[in-house]
């Protein structure tokens, strides 16, 4: 990925576009690549990725068969800082195009940054959970949950994330 739309291209190792089958029913969207993702060119490959894989398996999904994983930003912010609004604005059209090409049946936003940017809101994550939002021209159902990295730091919230995943699975099952 040779994008130079924001200054992050100068500090990244490579762009991290996303990974998964081109026709996936589920699209998981996180915040931005971390150091390991930047090195490997794939989202969610470190400890948070291992937890995400376990979370997906718990609701009968496998990232290799029916889940595409991407991030709001395609380049790593230095020091894993939060994305700046101009960086999100530079990457969002690319993500919107990805979503249009993938045409997922459901989207799962993991973490506050992903949820707020996809939904264009400043509401806290706790207020965005537990309901079906919709995204983009295809009005794709979108469910919000905690970021796996947050769950690794705050394991007491895993029960809430499990409720979010079961909710997302029920939304998906009603669609199919």
Strand partners, 142: 107, 133
**Region 123-144 average pLDDT:** 96
12 vs 172, higher pLDDT? 172
For the chain, what are the domain ranges? 7-175
7-175: CATH topology is Uracil-DNA Glycosylase, subunit E (3.40.470)
pTM of the full predicted structure? 0.94
CA angle 106/111/109 to nearest 5° reads 10
Question: What average pLDDT does the chain have?
Answer: 92
Tokens of 17: 């576009």
Q: Is the pLDDT of residue 9 over 80?
A: no
């Amino acid at each position: 990925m040779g994008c130079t739309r924001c200054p992050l291209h100068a500090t990244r190792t490579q762009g991290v576009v996303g990974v998964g089958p081109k026709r996936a029913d589920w699209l998981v969207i996180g915040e931005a690549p971390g150091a390991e993702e930047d090195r490997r060119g794939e989202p969610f490959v470190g400890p948070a990725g291992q937890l995400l894989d376990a979370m997906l398996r718990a609701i009968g999904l496998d990232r290799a068969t029916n889940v595409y994983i991407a991030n709001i930003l395609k380049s790593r912010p230095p020091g894993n800082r939060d994305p700046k609004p101009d960086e999100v604005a530079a990457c969002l059209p690319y993500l919107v195009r990805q979503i249009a090409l993938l045409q997922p049946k459901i989207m799962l936003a993991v973490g506050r940054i992903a949820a707020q940017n996809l939904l264009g809101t400043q509401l806290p994550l706790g207020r965005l959970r537990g309901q079906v939002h919709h995204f983009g021209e295809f009005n794709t159902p979108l469910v919000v949950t905690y970021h796996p990295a947050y769950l690794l730091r705050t394991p007491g919230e895993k029960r809430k994330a499990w409720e979010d995943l079961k909710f997302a699975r029920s939304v998906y099952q009603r669609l199919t």
